[in-house]
Amino acid sequence: MPELQRLRPDHAPALLTFEQENRTYFAASVPDRGDAYFTDFAARLTALLTEQDAGLCHFHVLVAPDGEVLGRFNLVDVADGSAELGFRMAEKATRRGLATATVLHLCTLAATEYGLTTLRASAALDNTASRTVLTRAGFAPTGEEVQLGGQPGLAYVRGSRGGPEDGAQ
């Protein structure tokens, strides 16, 4: 069974492989990271871990028993009890409910470990899979339209209890 783990330096090789193997798949629904991301991967990872150590972000990877990274699940822009959720799954790990289960688990961690009460997210209108995961995990559309890499999208919100009083329905 895959395990959600807080990002660590030793995840680097598997994380880079995950990003490289799924680059084309990801680019079909989210903006491509660009060649510089891969060229400067080690420095970028160091910067992310520094942000995490400062409590500004919480980065996680979904790791298979063999050490393969199956997904990334991040809480960024942490401030005033809220954060922005972002996630991506390897193509071969989709359609199994792993993304929804992992987002739900991360929502629990956000409240219990990180003291967060509100999570925001966004997804492109044509990214039905991510929009479905968000809805199943208790996120509700805010009605705010956003631009994601030049593509129209929707903003979502989820309170710590996931109920209507928290903005999720």
pLDDT along the chain (169 residues), means of 10: 97 97 89 90 97 97 98 97 97 96 97 97 93 97 91 90 42
- State residue 47's pLDDT score: 97
**pTM, rounded to two decimals:** 0.91
- State residue 32's pLDDT score: 83
Tell me the residue type at 163.
G
- State residue 161's pLDDT score: 52
Tell me the HSE value of 120 on the side-chain side, using a 13 A CA sphere.
Answer: 15
Which stretches within the chain are classed as H helix?
12-21, 23-27, 35-39, 41-53, 98-112, 128-136
- CATH numbers and ranges of domains, the chain: 3-166 (3.40.630.30)
- State residue 163's pLDDT score: 44
Helix (H, G, I), strand (E, B) or coil at 37: helix
User: Strand pairing of 82-89 and 118-124?
Assistant: parallel
- State residue 31's pLDDT score: 76
- State residue 149's pLDDT score: 80
- C-alpha distances (whole Å) from 82 to each of 11, 141, 154, 164 are 26, 16, 18, 17
- State residue 153's pLDDT score: 94
- State residue 168's pLDDT score: 38
- State residue 117's pLDDT score: 97
